[in-house]
Structure 1
Amino acid sequence: MTGDHRHPIFARLYPRLDAAAARAGGAAHRAELLAGARGRALEVGAGHGANFAHYPGGVTEVVAIEPEPTLRARAVAAAAGAPVPVAVRAGLAEDLDLPDASFDVAVASLVLCSVRDPVRVLAELRRVLRPGGELRFYEHVRSRSPRQAIFQKYTDVLWPYVAAGCHVSRPTGDLIERSGFTVRSERRFDFPASRVPNPSAPHIIGVAVRD
Protein backbone atom coordinates (compact mmCIF):
# COMPACT_ATOMS: atom_id res chain seq x y z
CA MET A 1 0.00 0.00 0.00
CA THR A 2 1.53 3.31 -1.08
CA GLY A 3 1.30 6.64 0.69
CA ASP A 4 -0.05 8.46 -2.38
CA HIS A 5 -3.62 8.63 -3.68
CA ARG A 6 -3.80 10.97 -6.66
CA HIS A 7 -6.93 12.98 -7.44
CA PRO A 8 -5.46 15.84 -9.51
CA ILE A 9 -8.72 17.48 -10.64
CA PHE A 10 -10.29 17.32 -7.19
CA ALA A 11 -7.05 18.54 -5.61
CA ARG A 12 -7.14 21.68 -7.74
CA LEU A 13 -10.84 22.35 -7.12
CA TYR A 14 -11.13 21.52 -3.44
CA PRO A 15 -9.18 24.49 -1.99
CA ARG A 16 -11.46 26.86 -3.92
CA LEU A 17 -14.59 25.06 -2.72
CA ASP A 18 -13.27 25.03 0.83
CA ALA A 19 -12.51 28.75 0.71
CA ALA A 20 -16.15 29.42 -0.17
CA ALA A 21 -17.28 27.09 2.62
CA ALA A 22 -14.96 28.86 5.07
CA ARG A 23 -16.60 32.18 4.31
CA ALA A 24 -20.04 30.62 4.82
CA GLY A 25 -19.12 29.32 8.28
CA GLY A 26 -16.73 26.44 7.72
CA ALA A 27 -13.83 28.32 9.31
CA ALA A 28 -15.85 28.71 12.50
CA HIS A 29 -16.55 24.97 12.47
CA ARG A 30 -12.82 24.21 12.23
CA ALA A 31 -12.11 26.56 15.13
CA GLU A 32 -14.84 24.82 17.17
CA LEU A 33 -13.37 21.44 16.28
CA LEU A 34 -9.95 22.32 17.71
CA ALA A 35 -10.87 24.60 20.60
CA GLY A 36 -9.13 23.50 23.80
CA ALA A 37 -6.99 20.81 22.16
CA ARG A 38 -3.71 20.20 23.98
CA GLY A 39 -0.56 18.14 23.60
CA ARG A 40 0.71 16.24 20.58
CA ALA A 41 -1.84 16.03 17.75
CA LEU A 42 -2.26 13.78 14.72
CA GLU A 43 -4.40 14.97 11.81
CA VAL A 44 -5.33 12.47 9.11
CA GLY A 45 -6.41 13.57 5.65
CA ALA A 46 -5.12 17.08 6.30
CA GLY A 47 -5.82 18.17 2.73
CA HIS A 48 -4.38 21.59 1.93
CA GLY A 49 -3.96 22.45 5.61
CA ALA A 50 -7.22 24.30 6.23
CA ASN A 51 -7.17 23.35 9.92
CA PHE A 52 -3.61 24.47 10.63
CA ALA A 53 -4.45 28.10 11.39
CA HIS A 54 -6.98 27.00 14.01
CA TYR A 55 -4.74 24.91 16.27
CA PRO A 56 -4.57 26.54 19.72
CA GLY A 57 -1.36 27.25 21.58
CA GLY A 58 -1.86 24.29 23.90
CA VAL A 59 -0.97 21.97 21.01
CA THR A 60 2.76 21.28 21.09
CA GLU A 61 3.08 19.58 17.68
CA VAL A 62 0.89 18.45 14.79
CA VAL A 63 1.75 15.48 12.60
CA ALA A 64 -0.40 15.87 9.49
CA ILE A 65 -0.96 12.93 7.13
CA GLU A 66 -2.12 13.60 3.55
CA PRO A 67 -1.97 11.03 0.70
CA GLU A 68 -2.80 13.35 -2.23
CA PRO A 69 0.44 14.92 -3.54
CA THR A 70 -0.99 18.23 -4.79
CA LEU A 71 -2.92 18.83 -1.58
CA ARG A 72 0.08 17.73 0.47
CA ALA A 73 2.28 20.36 -1.21
CA ARG A 74 -0.28 23.01 -0.31
CA ALA A 75 -0.35 21.71 3.25
CA VAL A 76 3.43 22.07 3.52
CA ALA A 77 3.06 25.72 2.50
CA ALA A 78 0.24 26.24 5.01
CA ALA A 79 2.32 24.61 7.76
CA ALA A 80 4.96 27.31 7.39
CA GLY A 81 2.47 29.92 8.61
CA ALA A 82 0.75 27.84 11.30
CA PRO A 83 0.73 29.07 14.91
CA VAL A 84 2.05 25.70 16.14
CA PRO A 85 4.71 23.33 14.73
CA VAL A 86 3.26 21.18 11.92
CA ALA A 87 5.04 18.31 10.16
CA VAL A 88 3.31 17.16 6.95
CA ARG A 89 3.84 13.57 5.81
CA ALA A 90 2.64 11.25 3.07
CA GLY A 91 0.63 8.29 4.26
CA LEU A 92 -2.72 6.58 4.52
CA ALA A 93 -5.03 6.83 7.50
CA GLU A 94 -5.76 3.10 7.24
CA ASP A 95 -2.10 2.20 7.81
CA LEU A 96 -0.36 4.71 10.06
CA ASP A 97 3.38 4.25 10.43
CA LEU A 98 3.29 5.65 13.97
CA PRO A 99 3.86 4.15 17.44
CA ASP A 100 1.07 3.05 19.75
CA ALA A 101 -0.21 5.57 22.32
CA SER A 102 1.96 8.38 20.94
CA PHE A 103 -0.61 11.18 20.59
CA ASP A 104 -2.88 13.15 22.90
CA VAL A 105 -5.31 14.24 20.17
CA ALA A 106 -6.39 12.81 16.83
CA VAL A 107 -8.21 14.98 14.31
CA ALA A 108 -10.52 13.69 11.58
CA SER A 109 -11.93 16.58 9.56
CA LEU A 110 -14.06 15.84 6.48
CA VAL A 111 -12.03 12.69 5.86
CA LEU A 112 -13.88 9.67 7.29
CA CYS A 113 -16.43 10.15 4.51
CA SER A 114 -13.77 9.48 1.86
CA VAL A 115 -11.38 6.88 3.27
CA ARG A 116 -11.72 3.36 1.88
CA ASP A 117 -12.24 1.72 5.28
CA PRO A 118 -13.47 4.06 8.04
CA VAL A 119 -13.58 1.28 10.64
CA ARG A 120 -9.91 0.50 10.04
CA VAL A 121 -9.03 4.20 10.20
CA LEU A 122 -10.81 4.56 13.53
CA ALA A 123 -8.95 1.49 14.84
CA GLU A 124 -5.66 3.07 13.79
CA LEU A 125 -6.55 6.38 15.44
CA ARG A 126 -7.48 4.56 18.63
CA ARG A 127 -4.19 2.66 18.51
CA VAL A 128 -2.01 5.76 18.25
CA LEU A 129 -3.94 7.69 20.91
CA ARG A 130 -2.89 7.39 24.52
CA PRO A 131 -5.61 6.05 26.91
CA GLY A 132 -7.94 8.95 27.56
CA GLY A 133 -6.78 10.74 24.42
CA GLU A 134 -9.26 12.72 22.35
CA LEU A 135 -10.66 12.17 18.88
CA ARG A 136 -11.81 15.51 17.43
CA PHE A 137 -14.22 14.89 14.51
CA TYR A 138 -15.99 17.10 11.95
CA GLU A 139 -17.63 15.01 9.24
CA HIS A 140 -20.32 14.52 6.64
CA VAL A 141 -22.79 11.96 7.99
CA ARG A 142 -25.93 10.04 7.15
CA SER A 143 -28.99 12.12 7.97
CA ARG A 144 -31.29 11.09 10.79
CA SER A 145 -34.20 11.95 8.52
CA PRO A 146 -35.24 8.68 6.78
CA ARG A 147 -36.26 10.55 3.65
CA GLN A 148 -32.97 12.43 3.38
CA ALA A 149 -30.98 9.28 4.21
CA ILE A 150 -32.58 7.52 1.24
CA PHE A 151 -31.66 10.50 -0.96
CA GLN A 152 -28.08 10.22 0.29
CA LYS A 153 -27.99 6.48 -0.36
CA TYR A 154 -28.90 6.94 -4.01
CA THR A 155 -26.56 9.91 -4.35
CA ASP A 156 -23.69 7.69 -3.24
CA VAL A 157 -24.04 5.60 -6.39
CA LEU A 158 -22.18 8.36 -8.28
CA TRP A 159 -20.98 10.91 -5.70
CA PRO A 160 -17.74 9.12 -4.71
CA TYR A 161 -16.56 9.11 -8.33
CA VAL A 162 -16.73 12.90 -8.64
CA ALA A 163 -15.73 13.79 -5.07
CA ALA A 164 -12.54 11.77 -4.56
CA GLY A 165 -14.23 8.91 -2.75
CA CYS A 166 -16.53 10.94 -0.50
CA HIS A 167 -19.61 9.02 0.70
CA VAL A 168 -22.41 11.19 2.06
CA SER A 169 -24.40 8.32 3.59
CA ARG A 170 -21.88 6.92 6.07
CA PRO A 171 -23.13 6.63 9.68
CA THR A 172 -19.86 8.05 10.98
CA GLY A 173 -21.16 8.99 14.43
CA ASP A 174 -22.26 5.40 15.02
CA LEU A 175 -18.96 4.04 13.73
CA ILE A 176 -17.03 6.19 16.22
CA GLU A 177 -19.11 4.92 19.13
CA ARG A 178 -18.53 1.30 18.04
CA SER A 179 -14.76 1.74 17.67
CA GLY A 180 -13.69 2.02 21.30
CA PHE A 181 -14.50 5.69 21.84
CA THR A 182 -16.87 7.40 24.25
CA VAL A 183 -18.48 10.46 22.71
CA ARG A 184 -18.13 13.35 25.14
CA SER A 185 -19.82 16.02 23.04
CA GLU A 186 -21.60 16.04 19.71
CA ARG A 187 -23.46 18.55 17.58
CA ARG A 188 -25.38 17.74 14.41
CA PHE A 189 -26.30 20.39 11.85
CA ASP A 190 -26.87 21.02 8.16
CA PHE A 191 -24.21 23.02 6.33
CA PRO A 192 -24.46 25.02 4.21
CA ALA A 193 -28.02 26.13 4.77
CA SER A 194 -30.00 25.87 1.54
CA ARG A 195 -33.54 25.48 0.30
CA VAL A 196 -32.26 23.10 -2.37
CA PRO A 197 -31.79 19.47 -1.22
CA ASN A 198 -28.10 18.85 -0.59
CA PRO A 199 -26.99 15.28 0.17
CA SER A 200 -23.73 16.49 1.74
CA ALA A 201 -25.37 18.98 4.11
CA PRO A 202 -25.74 16.79 7.25
CA HIS A 203 -22.65 17.22 9.44
CA ILE A 204 -21.47 16.20 12.87
CA ILE A 205 -18.85 17.84 15.05
CA GLY A 206 -17.66 16.63 18.42
CA VAL A 207 -15.12 15.13 20.77
CA ALA A 208 -14.73 11.47 21.70
CA VAL A 209 -12.36 9.90 24.20
CA ARG A 210 -10.40 6.68 23.74
CA ASP A 211 -11.70 4.07 26.20
Structure 2
Amino acid sequence: MKIGLYFGTYNPIHVGHLIIANHMAEFADLDQVWMVVTPHNPLKKKATLLEDYQRLQMVFLATEDYPKIKPSDVEFKLPQPNYTVNTLIHLHEKYPTHDFSLIMGEDNLKTLHKWKNYEVILDHYDIYVYPRISEEEESIELKSHPKVHIIDAPIVEISSTFIRNSIKEGKNIQPLLPPKVWEYIDHNNFYKK
Protein backbone atom coordinates (compact mmCIF):
# COMPACT_ATOMS: atom_id res chain seq x y z
CA MET A 1 0.00 0.00 0.00
CA LYS A 2 1.31 3.44 -0.94
CA ILE A 3 0.93 5.96 1.89
CA GLY A 4 1.54 9.69 1.63
CA LEU A 5 2.53 11.28 4.94
CA TYR A 6 1.26 14.84 5.37
CA PHE A 7 2.85 16.35 8.51
CA GLY A 8 1.53 19.37 10.38
CA THR A 9 0.61 20.82 13.75
CA TYR A 10 -2.99 21.17 12.47
CA ASN A 11 -3.68 23.95 14.95
CA PRO A 12 -6.43 23.84 13.72
CA ILE A 13 -6.89 21.66 10.65
CA HIS A 14 -8.78 23.66 8.00
CA VAL A 15 -10.37 23.12 4.58
CA GLY A 16 -7.07 23.96 2.85
CA HIS A 17 -5.40 20.97 4.52
CA LEU A 18 -8.31 18.74 3.52
CA ILE A 19 -8.31 19.96 -0.10
CA ILE A 20 -4.60 19.12 -0.43
CA ALA A 21 -4.87 15.75 1.37
CA ASN A 22 -7.88 14.72 -0.71
CA HIS A 23 -6.24 15.87 -3.96
CA MET A 24 -3.16 13.78 -3.18
CA ALA A 25 -5.31 10.75 -2.25
CA GLU A 26 -7.39 11.01 -5.43
CA PHE A 27 -4.99 12.33 -8.09
CA ALA A 28 -1.47 11.24 -7.08
CA ASP A 29 -0.58 7.53 -7.19
CA LEU A 30 -1.24 7.10 -3.46
CA ASP A 31 -3.65 4.66 -1.81
CA GLN A 32 -4.01 6.70 1.39
CA VAL A 33 -2.87 9.94 2.98
CA TRP A 34 -1.98 9.89 6.67
CA MET A 35 -2.23 13.29 8.34
CA VAL A 36 0.58 13.10 10.91
CA VAL A 37 -0.10 15.43 13.84
CA THR A 38 3.21 16.88 15.02
CA PRO A 39 3.45 17.08 18.81
CA HIS A 40 4.44 20.31 20.45
CA ASN A 41 7.96 20.61 21.73
CA PRO A 42 7.65 20.46 25.53
CA LEU A 43 10.48 22.97 25.87
CA LYS A 44 8.64 25.53 23.75
CA LYS A 45 5.13 25.58 25.14
CA LYS A 46 3.13 28.05 23.10
CA ALA A 47 -0.12 29.36 24.50
CA THR A 48 -1.72 29.18 21.04
CA LEU A 49 -0.86 25.50 20.45
CA LEU A 50 -3.60 23.18 21.66
CA GLU A 51 -2.72 19.92 23.38
CA ASP A 52 -1.64 17.07 21.10
CA TYR A 53 -4.80 14.99 21.58
CA GLN A 54 -7.11 17.98 21.01
CA ARG A 55 -5.43 18.59 17.64
CA LEU A 56 -5.56 14.85 16.83
CA GLN A 57 -9.29 14.89 17.65
CA MET A 58 -9.84 17.76 15.20
CA VAL A 59 -8.00 15.82 12.47
CA PHE A 60 -10.13 12.77 13.27
CA LEU A 61 -13.34 14.83 13.05
CA ALA A 62 -12.21 16.43 9.77
CA THR A 63 -11.25 13.17 8.07
CA GLU A 64 -13.80 10.62 9.28
CA ASP A 65 -15.87 10.98 6.09
CA TYR A 66 -12.81 10.48 3.85
CA PRO A 67 -11.88 6.78 3.69
CA LYS A 68 -8.53 7.48 2.00
CA ILE A 69 -7.41 10.04 4.64
CA LYS A 70 -6.39 8.90 8.13
CA PRO A 71 -5.26 10.79 11.25
CA SER A 72 -1.94 9.63 12.70
CA ASP A 73 -0.42 10.15 16.15
CA VAL A 74 2.76 8.20 15.32
CA GLU A 75 5.03 11.06 16.41
CA PHE A 76 3.40 11.33 19.87
CA LYS A 77 5.27 8.22 20.98
CA LEU A 78 8.65 9.03 19.42
CA PRO A 79 11.54 10.87 21.12
CA GLN A 80 11.45 14.67 20.96
CA PRO A 81 12.32 16.69 19.02
CA ASN A 82 10.83 14.83 16.06
CA TYR A 83 12.92 14.43 12.97
CA THR A 84 11.13 13.25 9.83
CA VAL A 85 13.88 10.75 9.03
CA ASN A 86 13.37 9.03 12.41
CA THR A 87 9.59 8.91 11.90
CA LEU A 88 10.08 7.33 8.47
CA ILE A 89 12.44 4.68 9.87
CA HIS A 90 9.96 3.91 12.67
CA LEU A 91 7.04 3.59 10.23
CA HIS A 92 9.08 1.38 7.88
CA GLU A 93 9.85 -0.98 10.79
CA LYS A 94 6.23 -1.00 12.02
CA TYR A 95 4.64 -1.41 8.56
CA PRO A 96 7.26 -3.19 6.41
CA THR A 97 4.80 -3.87 3.56
CA HIS A 98 3.76 -0.21 3.18
CA ASP A 99 5.51 2.15 0.80
CA PHE A 100 5.76 5.56 2.51
CA SER A 101 6.33 8.93 0.85
CA LEU A 102 6.17 12.56 1.97
CA ILE A 103 3.71 15.28 1.05
CA MET A 104 4.97 18.85 1.41
CA GLY A 105 4.51 22.35 0.09
CA GLU A 106 6.96 23.91 -2.34
CA ASP A 107 8.20 26.15 0.49
CA ASN A 108 9.33 23.07 2.48
CA LEU A 109 11.07 21.59 -0.55
CA LYS A 110 13.12 24.80 -0.72
CA THR A 111 14.55 24.14 2.77
CA LEU A 112 14.73 20.33 2.58
CA HIS A 113 18.52 20.48 2.30
CA LYS A 114 18.56 21.78 5.92
CA TRP A 115 16.65 18.75 7.30
CA LYS A 116 18.42 16.09 9.33
CA ASN A 117 19.68 13.34 6.97
CA TYR A 118 17.77 14.81 4.02
CA GLU A 119 19.90 12.76 1.60
CA VAL A 120 18.59 9.55 3.21
CA ILE A 121 15.02 10.80 2.73
CA LEU A 122 15.68 11.65 -0.92
CA ASP A 123 17.38 8.30 -1.58
CA HIS A 124 14.59 6.16 -0.14
CA TYR A 125 11.29 8.09 -0.26
CA ASP A 126 9.23 9.80 -2.93
CA ILE A 127 8.21 13.38 -2.19
CA TYR A 128 4.92 14.76 -3.49
CA VAL A 129 5.01 18.54 -3.66
CA TYR A 130 2.02 20.86 -3.92
CA PRO A 131 2.44 24.44 -5.20
CA ARG A 132 2.50 27.59 -3.10
CA ILE A 133 2.04 31.16 -4.24
CA SER A 134 5.44 32.76 -4.42
CA GLU A 135 6.27 36.45 -4.90
CA GLU A 136 9.21 35.75 -7.18
CA GLU A 137 9.77 32.79 -9.42
CA GLU A 138 12.62 30.94 -7.78
CA SER A 139 14.32 27.90 -9.09
CA ILE A 140 14.30 25.19 -6.48
CA GLU A 141 17.24 22.90 -6.97
CA LEU A 142 15.53 19.71 -5.81
CA LYS A 143 12.53 20.11 -8.17
CA SER A 144 14.28 18.05 -10.83
CA HIS A 145 15.30 15.23 -8.44
CA PRO A 146 13.89 11.87 -9.64
CA LYS A 147 12.18 11.25 -6.26
CA VAL A 148 10.40 14.64 -6.30
CA HIS A 149 6.95 14.72 -7.93
CA ILE A 150 5.34 18.13 -8.43
CA ILE A 151 1.56 17.63 -8.20
CA ASP A 152 -0.72 20.18 -9.83
CA ALA A 153 -2.90 20.56 -6.73
CA PRO A 154 -5.14 23.56 -6.06
CA ILE A 155 -3.33 26.47 -4.42
CA VAL A 156 -5.03 27.19 -1.11
CA GLU A 157 -3.84 30.19 0.85
CA ILE A 158 -5.47 29.66 4.24
CA SER A 159 -3.36 29.58 7.36
CA SER A 160 -4.08 28.22 10.81
CA THR A 161 -2.54 31.41 12.24
CA PHE A 162 -5.10 33.52 10.34
CA ILE A 163 -7.90 31.30 11.67
CA ARG A 164 -6.69 31.51 15.29
CA ASN A 165 -6.28 35.29 15.09
CA SER A 166 -9.70 35.71 13.50
CA ILE A 167 -11.40 33.63 16.20
CA LYS A 168 -9.64 35.73 18.84
CA GLU A 169 -11.02 38.87 17.15
CA GLY A 170 -14.54 37.43 17.14
CA LYS A 171 -14.73 37.00 13.35
CA ASN A 172 -16.85 34.31 11.72
CA ILE A 173 -14.44 32.00 9.89
CA GLN A 174 -16.81 29.03 9.84
CA PRO A 175 -16.47 28.43 6.04
CA LEU A 176 -12.70 27.86 6.46
CA LEU A 177 -13.16 24.86 8.77
CA PRO A 178 -14.80 21.45 8.34
CA PRO A 179 -18.19 21.71 10.13
CA LYS A 180 -17.35 19.19 12.90
CA VAL A 181 -14.04 20.97 13.56
CA TRP A 182 -15.83 24.31 13.82
CA GLU A 183 -18.31 22.81 16.32
CA TYR A 184 -15.48 21.30 18.39
CA ILE A 185 -13.55 24.59 18.50
CA ASP A 186 -16.68 26.61 19.28
CA HIS A 187 -17.90 24.17 21.95
CA ASN A 188 -14.51 24.23 23.72
CA ASN A 189 -13.95 27.99 23.29
CA PHE A 190 -10.55 27.34 21.70
CA TYR A 191 -8.40 30.24 20.49
CA LYS A 192 -10.66 32.93 22.00
CA LYS A 193 -8.02 34.44 24.25
Mark yes or no: TM-score above 0.5: no
More helix by share: 2
What TM-score, normalized to structure 2?
0.40
What TM-score, normalized to structure 1?
0.38
State the structure with more CA Rg: 2
Asked which structure has the greater RCO (Cα within 8 Å, sep 6+), the reply is: 2
